[in-house]
Structure 1
Amino acid sequence: MRELLSALEARLDSPTAKGLAQAVSRAIRDEVLVPGDQLPPIRRVAEELMVSPTTVSSAWQLLARSGAIRSDGRRGTTVAPDRLGGARYTTALRHQPGSRLDLSTGVPDPRLLPDLRVPLGHIGGEEAAPSSYLDDPVLPELGDALRNDWPCAVDDLLVVDGAMDALDLITRTLFRPGDRVLVENPGFPPLLDLLEDRGVDVAPVGLDESGPVLDDVAAGLSRKPVAIVIQPRGQNPTGVSITPTRARRLASLLEPTSLLIIEDDSAGDIASSPDLSLGERLPDRVLHIRSFSKSYGPDLRLAGVSGPATVLAPIRHARALGQGWTSRLLQRALVALLSDPGSQAQVRHARGEYARRRALVADRLAEHGIVVPGTDGLNIWVPVRDESAAVLRLASQGIAVAPGGPFVVDGAPGGPHIRVTTGLIADGQVDVADAIAEAADASAWSAQHR
């Protein structure tokens, strides 16, 4: 411990909180401190470096906010692990090359996206001219369109570069290493990666046909979480949507708490389920995200975020220090799409087509005795006997699917699964369902005869 304090003293340029934080950061960079190393107690550091305990405590807070250190229970304060860089997400997308049918991605069918040529052709003249750095980050016309079609009253509104950009901003601004957050299980791998990268402790909440299981939420509340993240409709990977009754009961359960509620409506306008938000009951604690990527095009990279002005203020400030705003040209494109009757007809067609494709596969699997949860979205969550064997069996037939492991927190309810993007099966749904059922059944055989 004495050698470590000497190393910090040698790197200390200024006896301030910022100077001490920089000294620790340099020690980590120089590998004097490595992930998992315990930092000395605050009072010991203060005595050895001849600074006040308040200075050390402030330095530790700066380091925790940057993700360099974290509170580690009985071990005290330790150097945070190296960032994993999306381990779950890359695993979920790992599949055999050359698939004739790639159902592993969870992305929309490009053939069902609106034709951009007509609405974008309307953007011209002064509308297409470059705007000022000082203009409102949210295009007024888009703000009005979103407010008129939002599932709850809007106090304040941001436009960002997609749902993951929103989640990145929220977690970076509002969460600290060691915070506990309730998440759906199974959940979305990039979100789980993001929370892990922030040093957040993830507590799983199971799902049933109506949404988050209330008993799991109640049990999670005893662990003093700071937030819960839910997908209100077309949940990825299960396709479960929260029913109005479950939403009311969940709001009642959360009302006595101070928990922040983050709603990630990534399905957006392609979802067939009712658009709802707990913000109707708890407007002072709900951040509602709606993505337009799956309905209007991933390259638009647009999502709206609503919430209380006091909660969105630090998020807006953090964004102003970086990108600043989302391209107003892209925002104008979305306004054109939202107001164009032809584009709206294409989105309605896509919504119905995704529902049809999903239902055909799910119904056929049910005939094989394989029941999948949910009724909405682009994906189905298929129970199998052996995950790896099922993935390999389908790959041998030129069909790529995602293994279920990366979607799971602390074990998947009901055993191993695969995620299949039914939204990309334009035809032959029955044949694909038969292949999935065979892979699930074959995996059971292979697991028993190794």
Structure 2
Amino acid sequence: MATQYEITGADAKGIAASIERGVAGGALAPGAALPPVRRLAERLGVSPGTVATTYKELRRRGIVVTRGRGGTVVASAPAVASRRPPTVPEGVRDLAGGHPDPAFLPALLPPARLSPGARSHRSTPRLPHLEELTRGWYEADGVPSGHITFAHSALDCVARLLSVELRPGDAVAMEDPGYHHLLDLVPALGLRSVPVAVDDEGIRPEALRAALRAGARAVICSPRSQNPYGGCFSAGRRDALLEVLAEAPEVLVVENDHAADIAGAPLRTLTAGGPARWAQVRTVTKYLGTDLRWAALACDPTTLARHDGRLLLTSGWVSHVLQETVTRLMADPATQELVGRARTAYAERRTALIGELAARGIAAHGASGLNVWVPVRDEAAVVNGLRTHGWWVAAGARFRLAAAPGVRITTAGLTPADAARLAADFAAVLGESQVTYGG
């Protein structure tokens, strides 16, 4: 109950303004419960319909959210500050960033043949050759490619999809633990996150069903290379998830296949013959260049129209200079050979660390991708303990909603010899304080 702030007002506009003043001034903090409709109506001498209208308008604008029996509460503020990774200390090996090994990134040479000068590409927003390559890219993994478009990054694409599909206060089913930037993005859009537990096969069907029953109108998931847990869909898990999604045909399913070509696992997608509303987002930043802010989107026709309609009103199109750079790299045999070597090396490095940890009795997860997730009881103790041994790993707090603690280790640049040393140091840290590991 919000007992320390006196809500005032004689009509819906005045009541809403009073609540907004309380939120802006900090008297009504994120998560603070507002009085039930009838109770506030009696206190202010207005009709319950007036208060209900007030709350509805505040929900529409993302100022409050309704949590079923939990009532109406002030919406959570974006957690960007709390989830921002700390600065890497000097003199330690950085295994916290989630970055690829620079040795496997091709040299980026901007194209010179595109003419300079002011011009509009709204009539042809996508280069035909890149569009052709992108369709083949999707089709090779069984993703329908009848409707594709481009965006500036995976986050840019997901933000646009959610903003055109949902209203402030709507719920989104989110992987837990999950990608911290997506966990920040959802509340920043005025939406509500519903955690969905993951394991080595990706999101768990029973957790997804619970999220859908809680009112989730969109699902964001990773079919492989799940960050930070490393899970990837098995055929059985995919089929089980499709059964759950069949119960909610109106829900938008967004697959984030951010590390497609270097995931080290086959794609078992939910998009082929599954949901009526779907989208799969892919990027190239992890294996063609971290500065290539380009993403591809395959989706159903309704989603395509809504995404591109909003894109047209904002940036209009993705830079043709950027598109041409991506085209040259995707079509270059030497670059594709380098990507293949990266895929093999990343799988070897990831499995090497998991094996070294297992040999010392430490369970870890990383079925695909560039990261390994290690459950621990005390994240700070492990992070600080490994720091004294010269390693810097990511505390799991910024990846979690309701999941148990853990640490994320990026293995992209970790050779097998390094993995053995890290695992030995990890075991030593756990031995120094038994309370740091959750078993």
1:175 aligns with 2:166: yes
Unpaired segments of 5 or more residues in structure 2?
none
Take 1:225 and 1:102, find their aligned partners in 2: how far apart are those partners?
Answer: 37
Paired position in structure 1 for 2:412: 423
Paired position in structure 1 for 2:191: 200
Q: Is the 8 A contact 1:163 1:290 kept in 2?
A: yes
- Choose the corresponding residue for 1:228, options 195, 213, 219: 219
The alpha-carbon distance between structure 1 residues 65 and 107, as it changes in their structure 2 partners (threshold 3 A), is farther
Paired position in structure 1 for 2:179: 188
| Normalised TM-score (structure 2) | 0.84
Identity of aligned residues (%): 31
- Choose the corresponding residue for 1:149, options 137, 143, 149: 137
Paired position in structure 2 for 1:398: 390
Please state how far the C-alpha of 1:40 moved relative to its aligned partner: 10
Please state how far the C-alpha of 1:393 moved relative to its aligned partner: 0.7
Q: Is the 8 A contact 2:280 2:298 kept in 1?
A: yes
- SS of the equivalent of 1:424 reads coil
1:312 aligns with 2:316: no
Paired position in structure 2 for 1:434: 424
Unpaired segments of 5 or more residues in structure 1?
13-19
Q: Is the 8 A contact 1:379 1:423 kept in 2?
A: yes
Residues 44-443 of structure 1: matches in 2 within 5 Å? 64-71=59-66, 73=68, 80-88=75-83, 90=84, 93-117=85-109, 120=110, 123-126=111-114, 131-150=119-138, 151-258=142-249, 259-282=251-274, 284-412=276-404, 416-426=405-415, 428-443=418-433
Bigger drift between 379-388 and 310-319 goes to 310-319
Take 1:278 and 1:447, find their aligned partners in 2: how far apart are those partners?
Answer: 35
Q: Deviations over 1:331-385 (max 9, x none)?
A: 1111110001111111111111111111221111111111222321110001234
- SS of the equivalent of 1:205 reads strand
Please state how far the C-alpha of 1:439 moved relative to its aligned partner: 2.2
- SS of the equivalent of 2:268 reads coil
Take 2:365 and 2:206, find their aligned partners in 1: how far apart are those partners?
Answer: 19
Residue type matched to 2:307 in 1?
I
Residue type matched to 1:280 in 2?
A
- SS of the equivalent of 1:288 reads strand
Please state how far the C-alpha of 1:315 moved relative to its aligned partner: 2.5
Please state how far the C-alpha of 1:447 moved relative to its aligned partner: 8.4
- SS of the equivalent of 1:371 reads coil
Take 2:155 and 2:269, find their aligned partners in 1: how far apart are those partners?
Answer: 19
Residue type matched to 2:407 in 1?
I
Residue type matched to 2:137 in 1?
D
Residue type matched to 1:266 in 2?
H
Please state how far the C-alpha of 1:145 moved relative to its aligned partner: 1.0
Take 1:376 and 1:68, find their aligned partners in 2: how far apart are those partners?
Answer: 38
Please state how far the C-alpha of 1:386 moved relative to its aligned partner: 2.3
Across the two proteins, how many residue pairs are aligned to each other?
423
Q: Is the 8 A contact 1:128 1:329 kept in 2?
A: no
Q: Is the 8 A contact 1:384 1:444 kept in 2?
A: no
Q: Is the 8 A contact 2:257 2:280 kept in 1?
A: yes
Residue type matched to 2:218 in 1?
A
Residue type matched to 2:132 in 1?
D
- SS of the equivalent of 2:266 reads coil
- SS of the equivalent of 1:432 reads helix
The alpha-carbon distance between structure 1 residues 143 and 24, as it changes in their structure 2 partners (threshold 3 A), is farther
1:5 aligns with 2:26: no
Please state how far the C-alpha of 1:71 moved relative to its aligned partner: 3.5
Residue type matched to 2:219 in 1?
I
Q: Deviations over 1:151-172 (max 9, x none)?
A: 3112422211211112222222
| Normalised TM-score (structure 1) | 0.82
- SS of the equivalent of 1:342 reads helix
Take 2:93 and 2:174, find their aligned partners in 1: how far apart are those partners?
Answer: 31
Take 2:115 and 2:267, find their aligned partners in 1: how far apart are those partners?
Answer: 31
The alpha-carbon distance between structure 1 residues 26 and 348, as it changes in their structure 2 partners (threshold 3 A), is same
Structure with the higher helix share, 1 or 2: 1
Please state how far the C-alpha of 1:37 moved relative to its aligned partner: 8.0
Please state how far the C-alpha of 1:294 moved relative to its aligned partner: 0.5
Paired position in structure 2 for 1:15: none
Q: Is the 8 A contact 1:86 1:194 kept in 2?
A: no
Residue type matched to 1:440 in 2?
L
The alpha-carbon distance between structure 1 residues 314 and 219, as it changes in their structure 2 partners (threshold 3 A), is same
Take 1:147 and 1:236, find their aligned partners in 2: how far apart are those partners?
Answer: 25
Take 1:238 and 1:2, find their aligned partners in 2: how far apart are those partners?
Answer: 45
Take 2:120 and 2:93, find their aligned partners in 1: how far apart are those partners?
Answer: 45
The alpha-carbon distance between structure 1 residues 60 and 219, as it changes in their structure 2 partners (threshold 3 A), is closer
Take 2:24 and 2:434, find their aligned partners in 1: how far apart are those partners?
Answer: 50
Please state how far the C-alpha of 1:139 moved relative to its aligned partner: 2.2
